[in-house]
Amino acid sequence: MRIVYGVVGEGMGHATRSRVVLEHLLSRGHAIRVVVSGRAFKFLSERFRDHPNIEITEIRGLHLRYDGNAVEVGRSLLSNLGRAPANLVENIRVWRDLVKDDFDAQVVISDFESWAFFYGLNHFLPVISIDNMQILNRCSHPPEVTRDPEFQLAKAAVKAKLPHAHHYIVTTFFYPPVRKDRTTLVPPILRPEIRAAVREPGEHVLVYQTASANTDLIPMLRTLPYQFRLYGMGREGTEGNVTLRAFSEAGFVDDLRTARAVVAGGGFSLMGESVHLRVPMFSVPVAGQYEQELNARWLAELGYGGWAKAFERDELAAFLAQVPALTAYEPQDDSLLHATLDRLLLAL
């Protein structure tokens, strides 16, 4: 089939997940045009540059600004509004180019990306959603979660993102009851490097930060009696017991599989990788992103780690002093994802 595939570029989790799905689709002989924004464009372009059946095109997407471990809503809004005219012109150009080259798409797949969704809507194409966010809208959650106004706002935003898709494939490590049809829950979609990794617990703690503006983090870590390997700060070096790492896929995977524990936000991708490798995780969700808090709540509820609303030394110290053992989690492969996606495409 001829597929338009959209990947949102805010954060790299969508890109690494989409890489796995794209590799499966290519192995089935499908022709794919990918539209992607942000850092994900470079990642996917390099990954698929030698494959003849896929073309990667950059579009302009939204981006977030941070203050510490919180999203700065005002600055994010102003920044996106300032770029909106130029972004719109560029995205219209990509739209026209895709129409002009007679690709004649038959289906759209979107990893929480709106450009591809609207392309499918405009051309009366079925849209298949593959992401982790739709779990807010398409599953039932405990009353202590659903009565939270922040949950209701997040749920409404997710519901509005890709409404009335042909089917929703939701990747997850927790399984609340599905409340809507055309919904399939699948295990975490993991890159091959994670599946090939062998767990060998060491003494260091892996710390990953999405927001390099979190200037309070390193001084706090230096007060704790552990060796930390910190990614995401945008620089390298050593500050006491904290080693700042530049991103390297092989290095990161090795640090993850051998970590005593992981300290990170509430993003689903790293959380799913940690759970799969049975590495305990302490999650501090980015303030203003309730989906991350939901992930963190389930992480703690299932005994796979702990969480807190903010980086507090005493809570982190208590967790690292007695990290849980993740013996209850049974790692799973992508067979359900592949079977579901193949079935959906075959039926179109």
Please state the pTM of the whole predicted model: 0.88
Q: If we measure between CA atoms, which residue out of 322, 296, 318, 320 comes closest to residue 309?
A: 296
Q: If we measure between CA atoms, which residue out of 303, 280, 123, 101 comes closest to residue 206?
A: 280
Determine the straight-line distance between the first and last CA of the chain, rounded to whole angstroms: 10
**Which whole number is the average pLDDT over 60-70?**
46
Residue 70 has pLDDT above 50, yes or no: no
Q: CA geometry: angle at 38 spanning 32 and 40, to 5°?
A: 50
User: Which CATH homologous superfamily contains domain 2-190+333-347?
Assistant: Glycogen Phosphorylase B; (3.40.50.2000)
Per CATH, 2-190+333-347 and 193-321 having the same topology is answered yes
Asked if residue 199 lies in contact with residue 277, where contact means CB atoms within 8 angstroms, the answer is yes
Q: How high is the mean pLDDT of the chain?
A: 87
In this predicted model, what pLDDT tens digit does every residue of 158-188 receive, in sequence order? 999 899 999 999 999 999 999 999 999 999 9
Q: In 3-state terms, what secondary structure has residue 132? A: coil
Pick the CATH number of 193-321 from 3.40.50.880, 3.60.15.10, 3.40.50.2000, 3.40.50.300: 3.40.50.2000
Domain borders along the chain are 2-190+333-347, 193-321
